[in-house]
Structure 1
Amino acid sequence: MAMSAKDSITVFYDGSCPSCERDRRYYESLRAADDQSVIWFDITGQEQQLREWGIDPHKALLELHVRDSQGKLYSELAAYRLLMGRVPRLKWLGWLLGLPIVRTLTSYLYHWWVERRLRREGRL
């Protein structure tokens, strides 16, 4: 059963990043067609809007951010875990990312990969 729009989360993603776009399409492919519970917001060129929502635009480039239906912001792996919790086939992965040693290692690798990509693109 699909979640309603009132229970939605907003995912702030980097639409200028081919890998991020690929990930977004993958998540969408795993969801039910009538599921309105995940709203995707491309942060590209949206610095002022991000500030109005309490998100540092530079940090938004470095970490995934998700806002829940109550307005609470999550970043980095907590954001991924919230998003994965909306996709039945990925719930186990969200749980795994919550384990302390996995979370620590994944966080390190995630930041290394993002910073490397942004440096290569000249956006860091």
Structure 2
Amino acid sequence: MTQTPATPPTPTPPSEPTLTVLYDGACPLCRREIGVYRDLRPVDNGLSVCYADISDASVPVPPGTTRAGLLARFHVQHPDGRLLSGAEAFLMLWSQLPGWRWLATLQRVPGALWVMERGYRGFLRWRPRLQRWASRLDAPPRD
């Protein structure tokens, strides 16, 4: 009797719109932060959240973008296709996560988005140094 190899199931599209978080999985800081977010169940508002490690070359990038450009900053892709970046992307993600939603309300304060974006840009200047520090935490202990 010959067995037919099992066909992998075809993924079904999500039944609700999805916010896609595009993150740098090669960055130890990013991995830690996304790990915190992944452990949270998004609020029940009809929008699901998925995470795409764009440091993985097999993960497709949105049309009109480059992998290098996406790796340089934090991005989320809204279900309607809009790509949000930096502080605006964080605010969108935070609006979907319990315990973080209060931070998303900061965007209602005049000038807050501008201040947050400037802070994020400042962080990006320090990111390479912080990544080296964080990668040492991931390294196995030396004998």
> Is the shorter-chain TM-score for this pair beyond 0.5, marking a shared fold?
yes
Cα distance, 1:107 vs structure 2: 2.4
Cα distance, 1:101 vs structure 2: 5.5
Cα distance, 1:112 vs structure 2: 1.4
Residues 44-66 of structure 1 deviation map (CA, whole Å, 9 limit, x = unaligned) = 1438832x522222221110111
Partner of 1:30: 40
Task: Report the secondary structure of 1:66's partner residue.
Answer: strand
Cα distance, 1:117 vs structure 2: 5.0
Aligned length: 116
Partner of 2:60: 49
Counterpart amino acid of residue 91 in structure 1: R
Q: Which blocks of at least 5 consecutive residues in structure 2 are unaligned?
A: 1-13, 136-143
Cα distance, 1:31 vs structure 2: 1.8
Report runs of 4+ in structure 1 exceeding 3 Å deviation. Answer: 115-121
Q: 2:126 aligns with which of 84, 109, 113?
A: 113
Q: Which blocks of at least 5 consecutive residues in structure 1 are unaligned?
A: none
Higher CA-based Rg = 2
Name the CA distance, whole Å, in 1 between partners of 2:114 and 2:56: 35
What RMSD over aligned residues (CA atoms) do the two structures have, in Å? Answer: 3.1
Counterpart amino acid of residue 84 in structure 2: Y
Cα distance, 1:17 vs structure 2: 1.2
Partner of 1:84: 94
Are the counterparts in 2 of residues 97 and 103 from structure 1 also a CA contact under 8 Å? no
Could you state the TM-score of these two structures normalised by the residue count of structure 1? Answer: 0.73
Judged with a 3 Å threshold, the aligned counterparts in structure 2 of structure 1 residues 119 and 59 are, in CA distance, closer, same or farther, namely farther
The structure with the largest helix share of the pair is 1
Name the CA distance, whole Å, in 1 between partners of 2:81 and 2:40: 25
Counterpart amino acid of residue 99 in structure 2: R
Could you state the TM-score of these two structures normalised by the residue count of structure 2? Answer: 0.65
Is 1:58 aligned with 2:68? yes
